[in-house]
Chains A and B, each alone.
Chain A
Amino acid sequence: MYRWEKIDNNKVRMEIEIPDTEVNAALDQAYRKVVKGINLPGFRKGKVPRRVLESRFGPEILYEEALEILVNPGYSKAVKECQLEPIDQPEFELVQIEKDKPLIFKVTVDVKPEVELCDYKGITVEHVREEVTPEDMERYLESLLEQHARLVTVEDAELQEKDLAVLDFEGKIDGNPFEGGVSENYSLEIGSHTFIPGFEEQLLGARKDEKREVKATFPEDYFREELAGKEAVFEVLIKEIKRPQLPELNDDFVQELTEEFSTLEEFKADVEQKLKTSLEHRQKVALESKIIEKAAENSKVDVPEVLIERELEASLAEFEYYLRMQGLDLERYGELLEGGLEELKKERRVDATKHARANLVLDAIIKQEGITASEEEIEKQIREIADRQEVDVAGIKEQFSKQGRLDIMAHEIRYRKVIDLLVKHANVIEVEKAAAEEEATDEKDTVAARETEADAQAGAFPAENSPEKPEA
């Protein structure tokens, strides 16, 4: 028997009663389990009769075990029957447990808050239509060339940005050499800012075999305290200047790059196609996330703290994974960061809140529209994955169901559908790129970063920006 009441917008208190027959059955079961571990003189282990056990240890000895048997199933049954959607671990409060009497306990749990949906059909958003421009092509090809640039030693030239200079140098502070201030044949890329500020700039224009004196000040927050803030004088000898030389963009280059194409024309066409697809995809995701965001903003919902926390945790975990690949971890990163880890969390929290809100709203729409993911649709998706990974369909299905991935997939499919529905009914205003230029620039990086993740998250807009590498 269940009674429940709302004590807050998203908190529910339930009183659950479990009939005495079930209680007794559970106590029997509990006895059978508990008795196995009881050692009492005069009895072989596990042979203590229930009456003796209860009179020696008190009936309470069975309660804990019995509660474990009763409470959780009773709770989930009650949740199902009352059609609640809990989002957090429940808190239990025991009212009564006794032999031959019904078990009564109270549960307080956070449930999904009610969402007051806005008119989600016909959301108006501005969308910036972008095309692949010749400049985009050029930029892409140029960076490609740069990646394949060769360093060529130049004899008679002035040092300029992007050159690689081979140097000997000796640094002194107040006329005294210091540790790490001397090196020979050091290869320094000008403009890479490997050295302390000002150093590289003062070498510009130097020629081979030229000697220069460079004055540079260590920054105040330099990692070696004894040097921080000090001015040093470096004797620098330029031994060699190497200049990156871009390969020529022609058929030969293409052939060297890939076996797929033999002429530049073909290659360019392919590049254009690829850029186009990627841009289209990016635009689609951007549009979708805009619509979702709008729908979320317009709907009324109190986002419970737990959900935000959960999103935040997920986002931080993902970020940490990213850091791990670079050999850092979250704590070290926090130390390097201005404001520490707290600042990062605060920043991420904003996105996490948005994300949680959007999920709630989407769930509410799914419910209202009665969107479901059918067996066949899940089946289809599994088959696609199986094809891609070239494994057996039945095998992968079993594996997924063991890992609980099937539910996640169903969830993804529902999300996909609801997003499609939103997009279909949305009122998209196409804006010329120039008009929205200013707005778009700061959003661009975000959009680019979303591209890869978007599929995995079924288009729900990810809170991830591509994290910046900390400056070491």
Chain B
Amino acid sequence: MKNPHDIILKPLITEKSTALIEENKYTFVVGKNANKIEIKKAVEELFDVEVRAVNTINMKGKKRRVGVHQGYRPDWKKAVVTLQDGSKPIEIFE
């Protein structure tokens, strides 16, 4: 099996994601080819919590231009992980 750190890359801390913490939802940047099941297992292992659901979104890289060259930032995947009621919070967001 893959290393959980290759699946969960980093927490995504933004205005929106901090607001979601209220609803027991934690947002991460995850590996491009990680699936929901892998993500659930990885989160449970890394943070010792119980996961109820995982929602993923594929994020398209933004268009960038350097002089005449036009290109894109890499695409990435975002995962919103909902914890079970009563599970302890993920402290990395604190």
Binding site for B on A (CB under 8 A): 42-44, 47, 49, 51-52, 55
Contact B94 A49 (CB under 8 A): no
Question: What distance in Å separates the Cβ of B27 from its nearest Cβ neighbour in chain A?
Answer: 10
Could you list some 15 contacts between A and B, CB below 8 A?
A: A42-B12, A42-B13, A42-B14, A42-B15, A42-B17, A43-B14, A43-B15, A44-B15, A47-B15, A49-B18, A51-B18, A51-B94, A52-B13, A52-B18, A55-B94
Chain A residues with Cβ under 8 A from B15's Cβ? 42-44, 47
Binding site for A on B (CB under 8 A): 12-15, 17-18, 94
For A56, the closest partner residue in chain B by CB is B13
Chain A residues with Cβ under 8 A from B14's Cβ? 42-43
Question: What distance in Å separates the Cβ of B80 from its nearest Cβ neighbour in chain A?
Answer: 15
Chain B residues with Cβ under 8 A from A55's Cβ? 94
CA distance A58 to B26 in the complex (A): 22
CA distance A51 to B12 in the complex (A): 15
CA distance A51 to B22 in the complex (A): 13
For B18, the closest partner residue in chain A by CB is A49
Excluding A42-B13, A51-B94, 5 further A-B contacts by CB distance (< 8 Å) are A42-B15, A44-B15, A52-B13, A52-B18, A55-B94
Main secondary structure of the interface of A (DSSP, over half): loop
CA distance A49 to B12 in the complex (A): 15
CA distance A49 to B94 in the complex (A): 11
Question: What distance in Å separates the Cβ of A185 from its nearest Cβ neighbour in chain B?
Answer: 82
Chain B residues with Cβ under 8 A from A44's Cβ? 15
CA distance A43 to B12 in the complex (A): 11
Chain B residues with Cβ under 8 A from A52's Cβ? 13, 18
CA distance A52 to B12 in the complex (A): 12
Chain A residues with Cβ under 8 A from B18's Cβ? 49, 51-52
User: Taking each of B12, B18, B94, which has the highest tally of chain A beta carbons within 10 Å of its own beta carbon?
Assistant: B18
Chain A residues with Cβ under 8 A from B17's Cβ? 42
Chain B residues with Cβ under 8 A from A42's Cβ? 12-15, 17
For A55, the closest partner residue in chain B by CB is B94
Question: What distance in Å separates the Cβ of A188 from its nearest Cβ neighbour in chain B?
Answer: 83
CA distance A116 to B94 in the complex (A): 62
Chain A residues with Cβ under 8 A from B13's Cβ? 42, 52
For B14, the closest partner residue in chain A by CB is A42
User: Taking each of B15, B17, B94, which has the highest tally of chain A beta carbons within 10 Å of its own beta carbon?
Assistant: B15
Chain B residues with Cβ under 8 A from A49's Cβ? 18
Question: What distance in Å separates the Cβ of B65 from its nearest Cβ neighbour in chain A?
Answer: 20
Question: What distance in Å separates the Cβ of A58 from its nearest Cβ neighbour in chain B?
Answer: 13
Question: What distance in Å separates the Cβ of B15 from its nearest Cβ neighbour in chain A?
Answer: 5
CA distance A43 to B16 in the complex (A): 8
CA distance A42 to B13 in the complex (A): 7
Chain B residues with Cβ under 8 A from A51's Cβ? 18, 94
CA distance A44 to B94 in the complex (A): 19
CA distance A43 to B94 in the complex (A): 16
Question: What distance in Å separates the Cβ of A295 from its nearest Cβ neighbour in chain B?
Answer: 68
Question: What distance in Å separates the Cβ of A59 from its nearest Cβ neighbour in chain B?
Answer: 12
Question: What distance in Å separates the Cβ of A55 from its nearest Cβ neighbour in chain B?
Answer: 6
Chain A residues with Cβ under 8 A from B12's Cβ? 42
Question: What distance in Å separates the Cβ of B26 from its nearest Cβ neighbour in chain A?
Answer: 14
Question: What distance in Å separates the Cβ of A320 from its nearest Cβ neighbour in chain B?
Answer: 58
The 6 closest A-B pairs by CB, nearest first: A42-B14, A43-B15, A49-B18, A47-B15, A42-B13, A55-B94
CA distance A42 to B17 in the complex (A): 9
Question: What distance in Å separates the Cβ of A233 from its nearest Cβ neighbour in chain B?
Answer: 87
CA distance A291 to B36 in the complex (A): 96
CA distance A44 to B18 in the complex (A): 13
Question: What distance in Å separates the Cβ of A47 from its nearest Cβ neighbour in chain B?
Answer: 5
CA distance A52 to B11 in the complex (A): 13
For B19, the closest partner residue in chain A by CB is A49
Question: What distance in Å separates the Cβ of B23 from its nearest Cβ neighbour in chain A?
Answer: 15
Chain A residues with Cβ under 8 A from B94's Cβ? 51, 55
CA distance A52 to B92 in the complex (A): 11
CA distance A350 to B14 in the complex (A): 67
For A47, the closest partner residue in chain B by CB is B15
Question: What distance in Å separates the Cβ of A361 from its nearest Cβ neighbour in chain B?
Answer: 62
Question: What distance in Å separates the Cβ of A49 from its nearest Cβ neighbour in chain B?
Answer: 5
CA distance A44 to B16 in the complex (A): 10
Question: What distance in Å separates the Cβ of B88 from its nearest Cβ neighbour in chain A?
Answer: 17
CA distance A51 to B92 in the complex (A): 12
Chain B residues with Cβ under 8 A from A43's Cβ? 14-15
Question: What distance in Å separates the Cβ of B89 from its nearest Cβ neighbour in chain A?
Answer: 11
CA distance A55 to B14 in the complex (A): 14
CA distance A49 to B13 in the complex (A): 11
CA distance A51 to B91 in the complex (A): 12
CA distance A390 to B14 in the complex (A): 66
CA distance A52 to B13 in the complex (A): 9
Question: What distance in Å separates the Cβ of A159 from its nearest Cβ neighbour in chain B?
Answer: 93
Question: What distance in Å separates the Cβ of A67 from its nearest Cβ neighbour in chain B?
Answer: 25
CA distance A55 to B18 in the complex (A): 13
